[in-house]
Amino acid sequence: MRLKDKVAVITGGASGIGRETALLFAREGASIVVADVSEDAGKEVVAEIGKAAGRGCFVRTDVSKAADCERMIETAETAFGKLDVLFNNAGIMDGKDDDAVATDEAIWDRTMAINLKGVFFGCKYGVPALRRNGGGVIVNTASFVAVVGAATPQLAYTASKGGVLAMTRELAVIHARENIRVNALCPGPLRTELLMSYLDTEEKRQRRLVHVPMGRFGEAKEMAQAALYLASDESSYMTGASFLVDGGLTSAYVTPE
């Protein structure tokens, strides 16, 4: 087992990438704290973990609120005694997110509060717990749009994920000598409810797919496998990395400096 006896907190753990990662990490031996605003779905994930003889618990968490993030870390230490892995994965993509002219300030603020400040709060309370444990791993979900612009305008989302990527790099440098590794998982376009509800017409979906050399959307399970690699000792010499899992999209459009 690649995460035997580890303890992981996964935000946005009730659906999508978070759900698949929670189930996979549990199968690989980790005890899981599922943190999400969706209580019923989060408890269902914990129940599924239990059915497979794993250990998990749910804590209702709005990552835009400092007190909620502090509580989710306390839950990990209270329930399982420590924290080894923090997966800051929770995020939103508002259907009305558009270009600078059309995007409302309220949409911008909400997107930043969840996607960017939520990662900050996770690290604010997670880093001390990792220190108490002698080190550990932080994985932050960024996006391919942190590296290239999106063909379909989504300015707040893109800016928030660019911030996550920049934050990841600085955290990695700051904590490298503390045995705390920090990497960014950068998914390409995925067949998840989050993206499919945003790309709500076939025209929008094809406009996104035309840029993907592999010609298909990624799956949440594929991102979970990438998160497992980053969380495990197999990536022990990786920190501050942008781990692009994008079907070749950025290779087709980014020119090396």
Backbone φ/ψ region at 134: left (φ over 0), alpha (ψ -120 to 50), beta? left
Tell me how far apart the 2 most distant CA atoms of the chain are, in Å. Answer: 51
Phi, psi at 224, each rounded to 5°:
-60, -40
Of the candidates 189, 188, 172, the one whose C-alpha atom is nearest the C-alpha of residue 235 is 172
Strand order of the sheet with strand 56-60? 56-60, 31-36, 7-11, 85-88, 136-141, 180-187, 242-245
Distance CA 44, CA 170 (A): 35
Rg (CA), the chain: 17
User: Helix or strand or coil: residue 137?
Assistant: strand
| 191: CB partners within 8 A, 6+ apart | 217, 218, 219, 220
Q: At what angle do helices 16-27 and 39-51 cross, to 10 degrees?
A: 20
Q: Per the residue annotation, which of 157, 198, 237, 253 is the catalytic one?
A: 157
Q: Is 157 a catalytic residue?
A: yes
Contact (CB, 8 A) for 141 and 88: yes
Q: Which residues have a catalytic role annotated?
A: 157
